[in-house]
Each structure stands twice: as structure tokens, then as C-alpha cells.
Structure 1
């Protein structure tokens, strides 16, 4: 965009010259380079230590930036800055317009779960702690809470069951589920679920009353968000690595037994299940009455949320364990075949693909001018 610079000069003769110049319709640039407009981008990270920004409409690469190590956590955008945390626990603040790393800092432990954005700060699982980090300046730690085991899941956020003004952070680690006050990290409760093994599934903080989380023992649990007590459990046939989502009374989750389940949120009774050809570690995403998820059988599936029937599936060249998301009738996801894909969300036809030249362990996000669209594996998923 051309900017008209007004030149104030001190004599009539020079003013006359200025008029003759501008009447020739020439323009002059500002003293510094113009600021690039903020545009929508899909952000992906791969095992080649790359952070990539792709055009969501075409898949064209806008920029690529190297970080120190592989990334398992989904990137996060706050106040038009991109934040990426690698597996060693180093956090990077990146300018989303050009990919320049503005600052970085070590958080002191391994990071697998996706940071949660709250009050313009980041709540991050680091080793066996959960920390609130102020992402501005030098990444100051606001508070830190130490769990019994390493935290490999993503934290989730909702209001307190008894006080809507109080925000609560929920997360799972080892065999326990925790609730912390979001403002100061104080523990509200922790619980060891009877009969449960380790939790690799992230907690879905669906509403003020219920939490939902899958377990390595194959059970999907509904917990009381006020004290962690168990409302009900539903047994699947194998470990649950997928993170559940809650949509319209349905709790939807994948299992290593090859099934995607829809369970009634209040009673824990099965509504429907769909069987894929291999394990389902991918966390589902709902858009326009369709449930989208990936499988180790190389397929991305679209399932009718009402009855669990197949609408379409799309075959890639490797397993899909990351989580998809949809926006503006386009479905975005990545596969272990090193490709990022964009499909028509209604019929599964391919719009574009982009090869990142390395495998991708983390899910992606789409950042738009009006906000971010995130997958359900992250702690920011709206359901």
C-alpha cells in the first residue's frame, strides 16, 4: 500500500517546486520499510526443527524458521505473536509476519503437551511441573506447580463449579488428575481414579460440572470438576491416547482398539461407534455436523455425528496421529508422510498438499485476523 508523505517546506518557491513534483503523480516511501499486513497462516512444526507458515488458501510457504529441537506441542498465538516450545523446553517468540525469532528462553524441562493461553499468558506442562509464563519480555514464571509424575498431556481451562469468576486449570499426569487455580497455581484438588492406569489422553473440561479423560486401561472417565470424583466410566477395548471432546451431549474419543466412540455425556451409555482399520490416537474435531479424525491406517475420516456413519475417507501415505481442524469449509491436517493437507470438508476432495520434508509429531493451528483455530489435542479447543 502506497503512503503519501506530506512535506512541509518553508518558502513559496520550494512549495511551487513541490507542487510540480506531486502533479507528476510520483510517490515517496516513508523513512522506514512499510509494515507487512497481518495475514492468515497455517503453522506447522516438524522433526527437522522447522517452524513453517503456509498460506491456508494455496499451501504456499510464506517462511520457514529453525528452532533448537523437535516440537511435540502445538504452536500458540497470543497478541499476534507466535509461540513455539520444543521438546527440550525452550520457548521461542516468533514474528508471524516474517518468521524472525524475537526471543527465546529455557523453561527447564521437557515439553510434550500444548501450552494453554489464559489472560495473555501461557500455562505450559514442563517436566513434572505446570508453569504459568508471561510470554512478554524474558518469559518470567508467574507460578509453578509440581505434580507427582511427568506431565505429558495438555492442560484445559474452565470456570469453577461453585464460582464462575474463578478459572480452573485441569490436567492429567501419571495416574492422577489435577485442578489448579489459574490465577496463582494453587491446588484445588488432585485425585487418583480407582482402577486407572496412566493418563496419556488430555482432559476435556467440557463445562462447569464435568471433566472427560481417557486412560491407558481403556476406560473413558467422566469426573466431577469440583472434586475429581467419578461420575461414570465407559470401557473400550484398549488404551485411549486420543483426547475426548464434548459436543451436544456426545463425548467423542478414539481408542487403540480401532474404534471411534460416541458416548452419552450424562449416562456414559454408548450412542454409536465407528471401526477403522487401525488404532485411533488422533483427537477428533467437529465441524458442520461432521466428526473428523485420523488413524494409523493412513486415513483421515469424516463421520456423521448423529449416527456414526461414514461420509468419506481420504488416504495418505502414512499414519495420522495428530489432530485435524476445519475452517471456512476446509479441513487441515498433517500425516507422518511429511505432508500437510487441505481438503474440502464436505466431500474430502483435495485442495492442496505441502511436503515439509520431515515427519510431524505436533498438530497444527490456523491463525486468522479474528483469532486462532486450534485442534482438540491442544488445551484451547472450544469444546
Structure 2
């Protein structure tokens, strides 16, 4: 009897010991934050926001101009391989992909479990964020290179057919369309929404303020050269750049110019506003921090190898500025001084804009994505 009890006790001890040996420790939570960005080298990168070291890279079949979006542990992005991807934000493993019939310049807007994204196949798609299944598609007039924005159940997006559309976010039904000026085909920039007004620029030198409810024009402002960047709205001011080498601040209600600042060639990079300053890059090799109210320069960074990419916009996140360049690099800079904290090198140009997820879980996008903080 004693032998049986002893044998039973040994079996129990052995069982616990065996279980303990097979136990795999849980991975420690990421407390560093991550920068997500695409590149012309066909990769979507996850970069440690503190050190600038690569966490993982996800390979697509063509260049990535689309700016990634992060929601609930998943990164969404489009590629020139005509596909939309959902990628596990922690591991870089693919969750699903959706094929369109055109290149994807557009950046995804994700809200209420739906991914909205445009394609050069002249369609705007609404996809189930969990599965990638198509919910609906809207046939636009011309390529949809612009990034959509969703506010109060309405999707706002532009197309190359000189149109800005307002669509029902659930059904895709058109509520209204606004015709841009100009005689040639022009792609409106990604729209921005503030206080019941949609702001969008066209390549024919005009910024439009459009009533979000009706699609009626409230006002327009003409620059001296083409506009191919998206407007940014903050604290009652609209900030735009144009190919006349200027950064402008306009009254959001009236369109009256408040100030302008000479910055050089800006390409398609949109202004970023954070903590009372406007950040914008220009060619060759300049990055400016300008007082958002007065237009006075706070600091200017000049480097030989930091030529801003033509499409990428800066992202501001908790005291840092993340800037992608035409020299295949992404910089993390101190927002107050412009001092470089780290540099990450890719194998291709970076026309995608960074999406930053901080250690505290806050998510920051650039204005070009259509997402406003």
C-alpha cells in the first residue's frame, strides 16, 4: 500500500515537472513603440521607434506608395502590385490580401471594422477589416489616387475626373459630388474635414472649401502654381504648400490668407501641424519648423543627404518628427530642435508616409493619409 502511494506521488511530481519543462515563456510586451512605413523596395517596414532598428519587413510584389494605417494590432497598406494587405502589427505575418485591378496610391482609412481605399482602376473599395471581404465598391469618374476620409458615416474622396465625392459609408451610395475647376483631368488631393467643411486642392492651383452636408462651394483660394499636396486644418487655419515654393496659412472660415513662408520646392509633401508649429520639408535638403500662428521660422535643418521624398509627408508623434527622404532613409528628429536621433536605411525611395504607434498605444498618421489626429 505504501509502495502504491509512493508510486502515485512520484507520478504526480513527474507530471508537474514535465509540464514545467514544456512551458514556453510569454513574450514580453513591446514598450518601445513602432514606426510603420512602405518603400519603393516593395517592403512594408516595422521600425523600433526608440532605436531605429528593424523589427520586421513584409514583402509585397511591387513598390509601396500607400501610407500604412494601424488599427487594433493590424497594419493595412496598399501596393503597386494592385493589392491591399492586412498584416499582423507585432509579427509582420499576413492576415489577408485583396486584389484590385489597378495600382494603389491611396492610403487606407479604417473605421468601424471597415477598410476604405482607392485604386487606379477607378474604384473606391470598402473591405471587411477582419477578413478582407468586399462590402461594396463605388465606380468613380477617373482614377482614385486620393486617400478617403470618413466622418459621421460619410466617406469623402477625390478622383482624377476632377470630382470630390461624398458617399454613404455603409452602402457606398453617392450623397453628392463636387466638380473641381480646370479643363484637363486633375486628381484632387486627399480631402480634410473640419467643422462641417471639406477642404481639397486640385492641380489647377485651387484650394476649395466645400459644405460637407450639401457639396456646395463655400469659398476657393488660388495660388500662383499647382497644388499636389493635401491641406491640413488646425485651430481654425488651413495650411497648404504649392509649387510656387510657399507654405501658406489661410483662415478656415473665409479663405483669407494669414501668412506665407518661403520654403522652396515641396513636391507633394503635406504640412504637419503639432504643438503650435508647422513642419514641412523642401528640396534640396531642408526641413522647416514654422510657428503655426505667425509664420515665423523656429528652426531649419539642412543636410546634403536628406532630400525629402516627393510624395511622403512628415509625421509628428510625442516630441519627435519622422521624415522620409528621397535618399532611401527615414529620420527620427527632435521636434523642438531638429536634432537627429536615428536614421533607418531602406533599399528604395520612400514615398509612403510613416504611421507611428507609441509605447502608450497612441497612433499618429500624416495628413496625406486622410486621417486627422
TM-score (norm 1): 0.88
1:102 aligns with 2:95: yes
Query: Residues 231 and 195 from structure 1, CA distance in 2 versus in 1: closer, same or farther, beyond 3 angstroms?
Result: farther
Correspondence for 1:354: 344
Residue in 1 aligned with 2:299?
A: 312
Which residue number corresponds to residue 156 of structure 2?
A: 170
* Aligned counterpart in structure 2 of residue 233 of structure 1, from 220, 237, 240: 220
Match 2:9 to one of 8, 12, 16: 12
Shift of 1:28: 3.8
4+ runs deviating over 6 angstroms: 16-19
1:267–1:60 distance in 2 versus 1, CA, 3 Å: same
Tell me which residue corresponds to 1:331.
Answer: 321
Distance 1:320-1:283 versus aligned 2 partners, 3 A rule: same
SS of 1:11's equivalent? helix
Residues 298 and 15 from structure 1, CA distance in 2 versus in 1: closer, same or farther, beyond 3 angstroms?
A: same
Match of 2:65 in 1: 72
Q: Who is 1:380 aligned against?
A: 371
Alignment correspondent of 1:3 = none
1:196 and 1:333, CA in 2 relative to 1: closer, same or farther beyond 3 A?
Answer: farther
* Equivalent in 285, 308, 319 of residue 298 of structure 1: 285
What is the alpha-carbon distance in structure 2 between the residues aligned to residue 68 and residue 10 of structure 1?
61
What are the ranges of 5 or more consecutive residues in structure 2 without an aligned counterpart? 1-5
Residue aligned with 2:193, SS? coil
Q: For residue 204 of structure 1, what is the aligned residue in structure 2?
A: 192
Contact 2:327 2:349 in 1 (8 A): yes
Change (3 A) 1:44 1:193: closer
Aligned length: 360
Residue 150 (structure 1) aligned to one of 138, 143, 146: 143
Partner of 1:205, secondary structure, is strand
Separation in 2 of the partners of 1:310 and 1:88?
41
Equivalent of 1:132 in 126, 130, 138: 126
Residue of structure 2 in register with 1:250 after alignment:
237
Partner SS state of residue 192, structure 2: coil
Q: Distance in 2 between matches of 1:90 and 1:17?
A: 52
Instruction: Give the Cα separation in 1 of the matches to 2:80 and 2:142.
Output: 17
Deviation (angstroms), 1:79: 2.0
RMSD over aligned Cα atoms: 2.3
Aligned partners of 1:154 and 1:379 also within 8 Å: yes
